[in-house]
Amino acid sequence: MEKPYYAVIFTSTRTSGDHGYGEMAEEMERLAKNQSGFLGIESARESVGITVSYWTSLAAIADWKTNADHLFAQRKGVTDWYKWYKVRICLVEREYEFEK
Protein backbone atom coordinates (compact mmCIF):
# COMPACT_ATOMS: atom_id res chain seq x y z
CA MET A 1 0.00 0.00 0.00
CA GLU A 2 1.22 3.46 -0.78
CA LYS A 3 2.03 5.40 2.37
CA PRO A 4 0.79 7.22 4.22
CA TYR A 5 -2.63 5.62 4.60
CA TYR A 6 -5.09 5.22 7.47
CA ALA A 7 -5.98 2.27 9.67
CA VAL A 8 -9.28 2.01 11.55
CA ILE A 9 -8.80 -0.35 14.49
CA PHE A 10 -12.07 -1.74 15.86
CA THR A 11 -11.61 -3.66 19.13
CA SER A 12 -14.61 -5.33 20.76
CA THR A 13 -16.03 -7.87 23.16
CA ARG A 14 -19.16 -9.69 22.03
CA THR A 15 -22.42 -10.64 23.66
CA SER A 16 -23.21 -14.37 23.71
CA GLY A 17 -24.84 -15.91 20.65
CA ASP A 18 -24.55 -14.97 17.00
CA HIS A 19 -27.86 -13.10 16.47
CA GLY A 20 -27.00 -12.63 12.77
CA TYR A 21 -23.54 -11.19 13.48
CA GLY A 22 -21.58 -13.54 11.20
CA GLU A 23 -23.77 -12.86 8.19
CA MET A 24 -23.68 -9.10 8.79
CA ALA A 25 -19.88 -9.10 9.22
CA GLU A 26 -19.50 -10.80 5.83
CA GLU A 27 -21.90 -8.31 4.24
CA MET A 28 -20.05 -5.32 5.74
CA GLU A 29 -16.73 -6.61 4.42
CA ARG A 30 -18.26 -7.08 0.96
CA LEU A 31 -19.68 -3.55 1.02
CA ALA A 32 -16.47 -1.99 2.35
CA LYS A 33 -14.48 -3.58 -0.48
CA ASN A 34 -16.66 -1.64 -2.92
CA GLN A 35 -16.33 1.64 -1.00
CA SER A 36 -14.11 4.32 -2.54
CA GLY A 37 -10.79 4.56 -0.69
CA PHE A 38 -10.90 1.04 0.82
CA LEU A 39 -7.50 -0.69 0.79
CA GLY A 40 -7.97 -3.90 2.81
CA ILE A 41 -9.05 -5.58 6.04
CA GLU A 42 -7.63 -7.97 8.65
CA SER A 43 -9.55 -9.54 11.52
CA ALA A 44 -9.05 -11.88 14.48
CA ARG A 45 -11.32 -12.96 17.33
CA GLU A 46 -10.59 -14.71 20.59
CA SER A 47 -11.92 -13.25 23.83
CA VAL A 48 -11.41 -9.83 22.23
CA GLY A 49 -12.08 -9.16 18.56
CA ILE A 50 -9.82 -6.92 16.53
CA THR A 51 -10.64 -5.78 13.02
CA VAL A 52 -8.35 -3.39 11.20
CA SER A 53 -9.51 -1.79 7.96
CA TYR A 54 -7.22 0.30 5.76
CA TRP A 55 -8.20 3.45 3.91
CA THR A 56 -6.66 6.05 1.62
CA SER A 57 -7.96 9.09 3.52
CA LEU A 58 -9.97 10.42 6.45
CA ALA A 59 -12.67 11.42 3.94
CA ALA A 60 -12.98 7.78 2.77
CA ILE A 61 -13.34 6.67 6.41
CA ALA A 62 -16.03 9.31 7.02
CA ASP A 63 -17.92 8.18 3.90
CA TRP A 64 -17.85 4.57 5.12
CA LYS A 65 -19.03 5.57 8.60
CA THR A 66 -22.12 7.24 7.08
CA ASN A 67 -22.95 4.42 4.61
CA ALA A 68 -26.63 3.54 5.26
CA ASP A 69 -26.03 -0.23 5.56
CA HIS A 70 -23.04 0.37 7.82
CA LEU A 71 -25.13 2.70 10.02
CA PHE A 72 -27.71 -0.09 10.39
CA ALA A 73 -24.95 -2.56 11.38
CA GLN A 74 -23.57 -0.03 13.89
CA ARG A 75 -26.99 0.23 15.56
CA LYS A 76 -27.31 -3.58 15.69
CA GLY A 77 -23.85 -3.72 17.24
CA VAL A 78 -24.95 -1.49 20.11
CA THR A 79 -28.27 -3.27 20.68
CA ASP A 80 -27.36 -6.91 19.96
CA TRP A 81 -23.72 -7.82 19.36
CA TYR A 82 -21.26 -5.92 21.55
CA LYS A 83 -20.69 -5.59 25.28
CA TRP A 84 -17.94 -3.07 24.57
CA TYR A 85 -16.04 -1.62 21.63
CA LYS A 86 -13.43 1.00 20.86
CA VAL A 87 -12.50 2.59 17.53
CA ARG A 88 -9.06 4.05 16.86
CA ILE A 89 -8.08 5.85 13.65
CA CYS A 90 -4.36 5.93 12.93
CA LEU A 91 -2.10 7.31 10.22
CA VAL A 92 0.29 4.64 8.94
CA GLU A 93 3.53 6.26 7.89
CA ARG A 94 5.80 3.23 7.90
CA GLU A 95 5.42 -0.54 7.82
CA TYR A 96 7.55 -3.65 7.59
CA GLU A 97 6.93 -7.37 7.69
CA PHE A 98 8.58 -10.79 7.93
CA GLU A 99 7.58 -13.98 6.15
CA LYS A 100 9.26 -17.41 6.03
pTM of the model as a whole:
0.89
Q: At 100, is the secondary structure helix, strand, or coil?
A: coil
Q: Where in the sequence is the domain holding 12, given as residue range(s)?
A: 5-92
> Are the beta carbons of 42 and 52 closer than 8 angstroms?
yes
**What CATH number corresponds to the domain at position 74?**
3.30.70.100
Q: What is the pLDDT of residues 16-38, one digit of tens each?
A: 988 899 999 999 999 999 999 99
For residues 97 and 73, give the distance between their C-alpha atoms in angstroms, rounded to a whole number. 32
Contact 50, 10 (CB under 8 A): yes
Structural domain includes residue 27: yes
- Residue 48, in any domain of the structure: yes
In a domain, 61, yes or no: yes
Closest of 69, 32, 23 to residue 53, by C-alpha: 32
Under the banding of pLDDT at 50, 70 and 90, the label for residue 73 is very high
Contact 6, 52 (CB under 8 A): no
98 lies in some domain: no
Q: In what order do the strands lie in the sheet with 49-55?
A: 38-45, 49-55, 5-14, 82-92
Domain count, the chain: 1
Q: What are phi and psi of 14, to 5 degrees?
A: -95, 160
Q: Is residue 99 part of a domain?
A: no
Q: Does any domain span residue 97?
A: no
